[in-house]
Amino acid sequence: MSKLASDTAMVLAAGLGKRMRPLTATQPKPMVRVAGKPLVDHALDKLADAGVARAVVNVHYLADSIEAHLKDRAAPEVIISDEREELLETGGGIVKAAGHLPDPFFCLNSDNIWLDGPVNAFADLSAFWDADRMDALLLLVTHKAAHNFSGKGDFHMDAEGRLRRRQSGRIAPYIFTGIQLISKRLMRDAPEGPFSTNTLWSRAIEEGRLYGTAFTGQWFEVGTPQAIKPTEEALSEV
């Protein structure tokens, strides 16, 4: 196995899961089951399979159920970042957990489901990582490899891998999978309290330091209850 760029991942699991209602009325989105397994376990199992040793998991909405579910997990080792008092959004959550995170660290959404290609997602990111040039490296998929996705895309990517955002009214060829590799340089002078990682990405784009790499596997958008059945059907065919 090729060496990974980091041994630690931040797993974002604190959101309210509004798009997944009514399933999230009584359980947090990371605990919604797809193919017999909670979404958060799909993400953590992928980390374990890739050899990532630690996962920092932030919790807010119905946090007790996530903590109880994860307390006996051995691989990866789970560290809880408690956001019960205030939901800090993606950027604020990462900043709060910074003391547990090395430089660089992987970051992924807890509701991600994907099928790896010839190499796993974290090896894909590690192979392209260049700390001298990059503040963050986003794992991207084309529309063809993005299942259950009906949006217009997120980013354009130049020949070097530098990213710029989709312009209003246009289609962008690449979609963000929710998986990235982050340098702590991205987090410098970060706002206090709740804020989106998009704020930090915007600065990195201006500085030419937000990069992407195309994923070699298949990715599934599982944002709504309607997406669960087609995702399960696709996984059953593997």
Q: Which residues pair with 180 in a beta bridge?
A: 107, 138
Q: What is the per-residue pLDDT across 145-176, written as a single tens digit (0 to 9) for each?
A: 999 998 999 999 999 999 999 988 889 999 99
Per-residue confidence (pLDDT) for residue 1, from 0 to 100: 47
Nearest to 139 by CA among 199, 87, 181: 181
Nearest to 35 by CA among 235, 238, 169, 209: 235
Per the prediction, the chain carries an average pLDDT of: 95
Contact 44, 73 (CB under 8 A): yes
Q: Give CA separation, 191 vs 88, 93, 153, 177, in Å.
A: 11, 11, 27, 24
Q: Give CA separation, 76 vs 45, 52, 54, 56, 73, in Å.
A: 8, 7, 5, 10, 7
pTM value is 0.96
Identity of the amino acid at 211: Y
pLDDT band, residue 191 (cuts 50/70/90): very high
CATH topology of domain 8-236: Spore Coat Polysaccharide Biosynthesis Protein SpsA; Chain A (3.90.550)
Cis peptide before 76 (omega within 30 of 0): yes
Q: Which H or E run includes 17?
A: none
Per-residue confidence (pLDDT) for residue 169, from 0 to 100: 84
Instruction: Flag whether pLDDT at 195 surpasses 50.
Output: yes
- Per-domain residue ranges for the chain? 8-236
Say what the alpha-carbon torsion angle 100, 95, 88, 192 is, to the nearest 10 degrees.
140
Which residues have a Cβ under 8 Å from the Cβ of 130 and sit 6 or more positions away?
Answer: 211
Q: What is the per-residue pLDDT across 80-99, written as a single tens digit (0 to 9) for each?
A: 999 999 999 999 999 999 99
Instruction: Flag whether pLDDT at 20 surpasses 80.
Output: yes
